Homo-oligomer: A and B are copies of this chain.
């Protein structure tokens, strides 16, 4: 019976590893998001992936290695959003796109955002190098772009760093704190329409706030 099931859902090839890793990584992401690295247990991850713990350790020898892979995936998603900032040099459009993209990621991949939040709260034991290199470089570069907009009088003078922090926090809040938002919304997740309003409001307040609109 098990054999049949596997034959159906998989192409029964070398790609079995790929599929299995994907399932495990997804389970791991949700457990790490909810309990942090120390709080997560490999048996909980195995259970959520519906495989024996020993099988999990066959694919990922240690909890550390598994966590590292999860964090890598998240960082790659983050890099995607970063790109949407760079596609345009006009403040309104660039910021609108960026905020939209970050809001979309928060809705589609809240677990990833939570793992990231946990990691930062823990003082980034695993991703400190990312922060100091990739994130720092990207931030400095975007700060320059925003500063130029200010110098050109296209937006009000605000410290670009704090503007970025405001965008990051607002957009990520909808992922990290979605449980609180849900509770305040009568126990139901935000509908597509509500989420669109949240997105529009965030964009509007930021753009008006810096005098870009």
Chain A residues in contact with chain B, CB under 8 A? Answer: 33-40, 114, 117-118, 120-124, 128, 131-132, 135-136, 139, 156, 158-159, 161-163, 165-166, 168-170, 172-174, 176-177, 179-181, 183-185, 197-198, 201-202, 204-211
Contact = CB atoms under 8 A, between A and B. Distances in A.
* Chain A binding surface SS class: helix
Report the copy number of this chain in the oligomer: 2
Contact of A158 (B33, B168, B205): B205
Contact of A36 (B118, B163, B204, B206): B118
- Shortest 4 CB-CB contacts between residues of A and residues of B: A38-B39, A205-B209, A209-B209, A169-B173
A184 B185 CA distance: 35
Contacts of A170: 165-166, 169-170
A54 B54 CA distance: 35
